[in-house]
Amino acid sequence: MSAFTLDHVIESQQFDRDLLELVFQTADQMKTDLYGERRLAKFLDGKIMASLFYEPSTRTRFSFESAMRRLGGSVITTENAREFSSAAKGESLSDSTRIMNGYADVIVMRHNEAGSAARAAEISTIPIINAGDGAGQHPTQALLDMYTIVDAFPGVNDLKIAMVGDLRYGRTVRSLSYLLTKYEKVEIIFVSPPVCKMEGDIKAYLDKYSISWREETDLEKVAPEVDCIYMTRIQKERFHSVEDYQAAASKYILSPELVFAMKPSAIIMHPLPRVDEIPGEIDGDPRARYFEQAQNGLYIRMALLYLLFNKE
């Protein structure tokens, strides 16, 4: 295993294949440890994590806070930093970051502006973990997504994945696209309405690393050929036009008929929360991996916290 430097977790591009494998191996250990002897239960004893969320969150926030506590650390947090912190009084992100540097040992930050985590990391003396920056990236979600995919398809060779829904504003699919370039013989099919097409920067990045991709609008056509369908929610809060949102809302619903047409070995993923794109009746299908995917977030985030404080 090559040497690595993990000072912050800002974007998916900072993870090469060796570092991915180290994170996944560490997550495996965390999963085993959590339900076994709990040898690492006190590893972060005395450490404090600041949970600084300017946007709503359930899975990301609670899994990070659970991860920190399960490793023996403690958490300081606010329900909505945008409304219930000094940000409501006009305090800048840089000032908030500097203040938190004196109170905590690591900051987990979700912000409404793309690039916010990178700006915070430039001035922070403690690790910054990007828990989602607007329509930019969500690297820890991408890591747990990739961890779920690797579990289902060891080696990830010859994988064909359909990313469906809001690809323009969906930071999870953007971040996952970056990670998929670390593997060989991967093909991505972007399935979306015209108003939600994947942005050109991601397509150019895939071209740079010779990852095959194409665009479709018909999920019914794509469903039988792929190994993974990654559904996403149409994010009403990101749209600047009611007309654009209405053109995309409820466009793709993974009906029982579509699931029946999928390969027996295929999997269904979703970063959650969902609206109507995956009906509840699909939850019992063995190919539905989205709740397992969410659980994997705990192990991945435990692994990241461990590695940020353990350079050996």
User: How confident is the model at residue 241, as a pLDDT?
Assistant: 60
- Residue predicted with more confidence, 195 or 298: 298
Rounded to two decimals, the pTM is 0.90
Dist CA 159 CA 188 (whole Å): 8
Model confidence over 190-238: pLDDT tens digits? Answer: 999 888 889 999 999 999 999 999 999 999 999 999 999 999 987 655 5
Model confidence over 260-275: pLDDT tens digits? Answer: 999 999 999 999 988 8
Whose CA is closest to 43, among 303, 295, 299? 303
User: How confident is the model at residue 196, as a pLDDT?
Assistant: 85
User: How confident is the model at residue 194, as a pLDDT?
Assistant: 84
User: How confident is the model at residue 84, as a pLDDT?
Assistant: 45
Kindly state the average pLDDT of the residues 243-250. Answer: 62
User: How confident is the model at residue 228, as a pLDDT?
Assistant: 98
- Confidence band, pLDDT 50/70/90 cuts, at residue 80: low
User: How confident is the model at residue 255, as a pLDDT?
Assistant: 94
In this structure, the number of other CB atoms found within 10 A of the CB of residue 239 comes to: 20
Q: What is residue 162's three-state secondary structure?
A: strand
- Report, as residue numbers or ranges, the catalytic residues: 59-60, 89, 110, 138
Length of the chain (residues) = 312
User: How confident is the model at residue 237, as a pLDDT?
Assistant: 58
Q: Which of 41-45, 78-82, 152-156, 201-205 has the highest mean pLDDT?
A: 201-205
- Ramachandran class of 158: left when φ > 0, alpha when ψ lies in -120 to 50, beta otherwise: left
Domains identified in the chain and CATH numbers:
12-137+295-309 (3.40.50.1370), 139-290 (3.40.50.1370)
Whose CA is closest to 94, among 68, 125, 124? 124
Is the dihedral angle over the CA atoms 254, 257, 259, 261 positive or is it negative?
negative
Q: Measured over all CA atoms, what is the biggest interatomic distance in the chain, rounded to whole angstroms?
A: 55
User: How confident is the model at residue 54, as a pLDDT?
Assistant: 85
Instruction: Please name the residues in contact with 9: beta carbons below 8 A apart, sequence gap of 6 or more.
Output: 127, 128, 129, 130, 139, 140, 304, 308
Model confidence over 88-106: pLDDT tens digits? Answer: 445 688 898 999 999 999 9
